[in-house]
Structure 1
C-alpha cells in the first residue's frame, strides 16, 4: 500500500495528461436529491483516462527499453495513450487491437503514431497475440492495467478528486475493466479520505472483478458483452484484484439500459457524449443511490468519450427504458378501430412513444406499444394492472432483449385479404391526442391495417399508416385527409412498401 501511494504521489503524467475538471450535474443532482459530480476524464488529449497510466509507464522506461520498442493490447483507449507516449519519446509502438474495436479508436491510434495490428474477436485474443509478438521481437509489453506504474498513473485521477472536492464525499464510483483505474483511485482515496466509500462498477455481462471477489481469486469469464467495449475484459489483473479486494467497499453491476440512461444524463448536464464505459460509473452511482438513500455527495468518473457515432442510435433507443421513463408492452385487443381509441383513453393521458401494428384479420390485434411513464419504474406495474383490468392481454417487453433489439422493428410484414390498402406516410403533431384525432377522422368503412410510430424527440412524429379504402370512397377519403391537415405522402407504390408490406389476396 505504501509503495502504491508513493508511486501515485510521484507519478509523471502531466507531460501528456491534463488535470480534468470535476463538474457538477445539477439536473441529475436535483432528481436524486443529493449532489452528484462527474470527473471529466473524457477531456484528456486521447479522450480517456488511459493516457495517465501510459504516460507514467513510458516515462519510467530507460533508453534501452525505448530502443526495443513497445507492444500493447487494447480495445482502444490504452492503445491511444501508449501510442502517444511512446512516439513522443521516439519509441516504436505496435498496438494489437481486437477486430471488433470501434473504427474511431483504430483511426485515433494510427493518427498518434501507433502501428495497428487487428487480431481476434476480443481483448483476450489481442492480449495473447501481443504477448507472443513481444517475445518474438524483444519489444517491451505494456500491460493496460496489471502494472504498478500504470496503476499509479491512473491513481492520479483520485488524487485530483480529493483536491478538487473540498467537502466530504460519501462515495466515489469507479468503472472497472481489468481494475487499473479502480485500484489506483481506491488506494489514494482510502489514504486521503478514509471515510469515503469507493464503489467499483461493472457491466452485468462483463463483471470479471465481481466474479473474482466471489471466488476469492482471479477467474476467467467464459465470455463478456461488448456493448461497453472499454471494460469488456474476461479476467481481472492479479495486482489489481489484490488492491481492489482490500480497498473497494463494494461492486455494483448495471445493465445496458442503465448505461444508456447514464449517457443521456451526462449529455443533458454537460452536453458531452460519453462512451458506454465512460458512463458506467454514473450508472452505478444511480443504482447504488437508489438502494442507499441519503444526501451525501457522490462522485462518478467519466472514463472516456471514444464512441462510434452510429452507436448513438442504440443508446438513444435504450436510454428511456434505462431511466424508467418508458414501458414497452405487447397488448392484445380486438381488431376494431374503436378498440384503439378505447385503448388510448385507458392510458389516462400518458404519451405513446411507439406504436407498431399490422392487420392480421383473425379478430385479435397484437400491438407493440411504448408508453411514457410519469413517475418511473414503479408506475409501470400500476399501468399494466390498469390495462389488464380493462380486458387487455398485456406482456411486459421492457426487459425482453429480443423484443428490444429485433422484434420491435419486425412487427408487420405482408397481410392477406386487403385489396384496397393504401400506405401513407404522415407527419403527426408531437402532442397528446394526435393519434386519436387521426382515428376519429376515418369513416367506419375504412379499415386501419398498419400503424408504425416511434418518438424521436422531434417537433413532429413520423408515422407510416395503412388504410383500406374502397375505390368509390377515394374522394371522401382525400377530403378527410385534407380536413385532418397532417402532412401526408402516398407511399403505396414505393418499392419498399410493395415488396415488404403489400397485402396479398
Structure 2
C-alpha cells in the first residue's frame, strides 16, 4: 500500500479511540433534484462540528509521540481549527494558546472556550486570519511552543485525509465524484492524495468562496499568491493565501475543476438546507452543496459525495443570511427614489406597489431640491419578476429612481 494512504488509515484508526466516524448520509431531497445519488459526508456532526478536529488530533498525536515533554501548542484560526485544537488540547492534557481574528463569530469563540476549558487561552488579534497567523507564529517562536498549522502541515493534511478513508469504507463502491470545499487547502490536499492512491477513478471538484479564491489565484499564477482583499463572510474558508504544502498537491488541478461560489448564493443554500433538511451549515460548510447546480448536467445517474465541512453557525447571523439570499434570488431590492415634496406623492407611490410587494425599509435621506427629496426604500416581494412590473409602473408615473441593490459601494454606506 502506498505510504500516504497507509498513514491516513493509521490516523483514522487512532481517531476511533476518541471519537466516532462522522455519518455518510444519502440525501433524498438533493438526489431527487439532480437525478443522482447525492451523499453528504457530515463533518458538521463531528465532536467540534467541523473536520478540523482530525488534522489537529493527528498533528498533536504525532508531536507528543516524538516529544512527550512538549506541553504548549499554539495555533491561529478563524474558528473551526481553534475548536479542534482546543478539544484535542483538553484530551491530551496540554496547554493551548489560540490566536483568532477579532471578526471571528462569537459563537465560535465561546465554543472554543467550552471545548478547551482551562487548557486553552484565546487571544483575539487583527481583522483577518492572516494577521492572527503572523501573531501566532511570532509568539510561538518567542516561547518555544509547537505550532499547529490549520492547513499547511503534513501531519494536519494526513489527518484531514481520514475523511476520505471513512467515506470509501462507508460506501458500497467508490463514488464517481467528490466535491470539496477549499480554504487553505489542507482538506483538499489530504483527500486528493488518498483518492489518487485508493480510488483513482473518482473525480474531484473543488469549491471556494468567490471572495476568497486563493486556490484559483495560485493556479493562475503557478504559485501561492496573497489575495489583495478577502470577503470574510465565508469565515471558515476565507483565506488570503493557500498553503505552500497544500499547493504542492493541488498545483496540477485543472482550473476548470475549481468552482467559485458567490457569497449571496451560499446563503440561499444555507437556508434551503436548514428549512428543508433541518441541517445547520456554516457558510464554508455549505460550499460543496452550493456547487451542485453548476454540476447538474454532469452528475445525473452518478454517485456524488458532498463534504459538509462545518456547522458552527451563529444564529445571530441568520437575518444577514436571509437578506443576502433574498437579494441573490432577486426578491428584495433597495432603491433611492426621488420623491416629489407635495401632498399625496407618497400615496401615489404606494398605489404602484403590487399585492405581493412589501416595504421593508423607508428612510428619508435629504432634500435634493426644493421640490424633491431622496428616499431610501427597501422592498420585498414573492417573485423576482414582480420588480419588472413595479419598475415599469414607476417609469410610467415619472418617478426617478436608482436600483442600488448590487452597487457595492453605495450598499456599503447605505444598507
Paired position in structure 1 for 2:7: 7
Distance 1:407 1:308 in 2: 24
2:127 is paired with a residue whose SS is: coil
TM-score normalised by length of structure 2 = 0.83
Quote the offset at 1:85 in angstroms.
1.6
Once the two structures are superposed, what CA deviation does each residue of 1:57-89 show, in whole Å capped at 9, x if it has no partner? 112124563422211111221122122223322
1:370 matched to 2:376: no
Structure 1 pair 171/123, CA: closer, same or farther in 2 (3 Å)?
same
Quote the offset at 1:365 in angstroms.
8.7
Distance 1:354 1:30 in 2: 36
Distance 1:148 1:242 in 2: 11
2:157 is paired with a residue whose SS is: helix
1:55 matched to 2:57: yes
Paired position in structure 2 for 1:301: 307
**Is residue 7–residue 152 contact of structure 1 (8 Å, CA) maintained in 2?**
yes
Distance 1:4 1:406 in 2: 50
**Is residue 56–residue 149 contact of structure 1 (8 Å, CA) maintained in 2?**
yes
Structure 1 pair 190/182, CA: closer, same or farther in 2 (3 Å)?
same
**Is residue 214–residue 225 contact of structure 2 (8 Å, CA) maintained in 1?**
yes
1:190 is paired with a residue whose SS is: helix
Paired position in structure 2 for 1:81: 84
Structure 1 pair 72/368, CA: closer, same or farther in 2 (3 Å)?
closer
Q: Between 156-165 and 225-234, report the one with greater CA deviation.
A: 156-165
Distance 1:101 1:368 in 2: 29
**Which structure is higher in helix share?**
2
Structure number with the bigger relative contact order (C-alpha 8 A, sep ≥ 6) is: 2
Q: Between 40-49 and 91-100, report the one with greater CA deviation.
A: 91-100
Structure 1 pair 64/36, CA: closer, same or farther in 2 (3 Å)?
closer
User: Equivalences for 1:95-110 in 2 at 5 Å?
Assistant: 95-110=98-113
Q: Between 58-67 and 261-270, report the one with greater CA deviation.
A: 58-67
Once the two structures are superposed, what CA deviation does each residue of 1:455-481 show, in whole Å capped at 9, x if it has no partner? xxxxxxxxxxxxxxxxxxxxxxxxxxx
**Is residue 282–residue 313 contact of structure 2 (8 Å, CA) maintained in 1?**
yes
Paired position in structure 2 for 1:201: 207
Distance 1:142 1:358 in 2: 49
Structure 1 pair 185/394, CA: closer, same or farther in 2 (3 Å)?
farther
Give 1:326's match in structure 2, choosing from 301, 322, 331. 331
1:5 is paired with a residue whose SS is: helix
Give 1:282's match in structure 2, choosing from 289, 292, 295. 289
2:315 is paired with a residue whose SS is: coil
Quote the offset at 1:125 in angstroms.
1.7
Distance 1:27 1:385 in 2: 36
Distance 2:198 2:164 in 1: 9
Distance 1:205 1:338 in 2: 41
Q: Between 33-42 and 272-281, report the one with greater CA deviation.
A: 33-42
Where structure 2 has 5 or more consecutive residues not aligned to the other structure, the ranges are none
1:138 matched to 2:144: yes
1:67 is paired with a residue whose SS is: coil
Structure exhibiting the larger radius of gyration computed from Cα positions: 1
1:316 is paired with a residue whose SS is: helix
1:257 matched to 2:264: yes
Q: Between 388-397 and 169-178, report the one with greater CA deviation.
A: 388-397
Quote the offset at 1:353 in angstroms.
4.8
Quote the offset at 1:284 in angstroms.
2.5
Give 1:236's match in structure 2, choosing from 234, 238, 242. 242
Distance 2:392 2:169 in 1: 52
2:111 is paired with a residue whose SS is: helix
Q: Between 21-30 and 83-92, report the one with greater CA deviation.
A: 21-30
Distance 2:132 2:206 in 1: 25
1:166 matched to 2:172: yes
Quote the offset at 1:189 in angstroms.
2.8
Quote the offset at 1:403 in angstroms.
6.1
Structure 1 pair 337/122, CA: closer, same or farther in 2 (3 Å)?
closer
User: Equivalences for 1:346-357 in 2 at 5 Å?
Assistant: 351-357=356-362
Quote the offset at 1:42 in angstroms.
0.9
Give 1:399's match in structure 2, choosing from 406, 410, 414. 406
Distance 2:396 2:177 in 1: 45
Distance 2:158 2:297 in 1: 32
Once the two structures are superposed, what CA deviation does each residue of 1:316-335 show, in whole Å capped at 9, x if it has no partner? 2222333x262526386983
Quote the offset at 1:255 in angstroms.
1.9
Quote the offset at 1:243 in angstroms.
1.0
Distance 1:8 1:79 in 2: 22
**Is residue 104–residue 306 contact of structure 1 (8 Å, CA) maintained in 2?**
yes
**Is residue 2–residue 197 contact of structure 2 (8 Å, CA) maintained in 1?**
no
Quote the offset at 1:151 in angstroms.
0.8
Quote the offset at 1:211 in angstroms.
0.5
Once the two structures are superposed, what CA deviation does each residue of 1:213-251 show, in whole Å capped at 9, x if it has no partner? 100001112231211111121111111112122356611
Give 1:315's match in structure 2, choosing from 304, 317, 321. 321
Quote the offset at 1:146 in angstroms.
1.1
Where structure 1 has 5 or more consecutive residues not aligned to the other structure, the ranges are 409-505
Structure 1 pair 29/353, CA: closer, same or farther in 2 (3 Å)?
farther
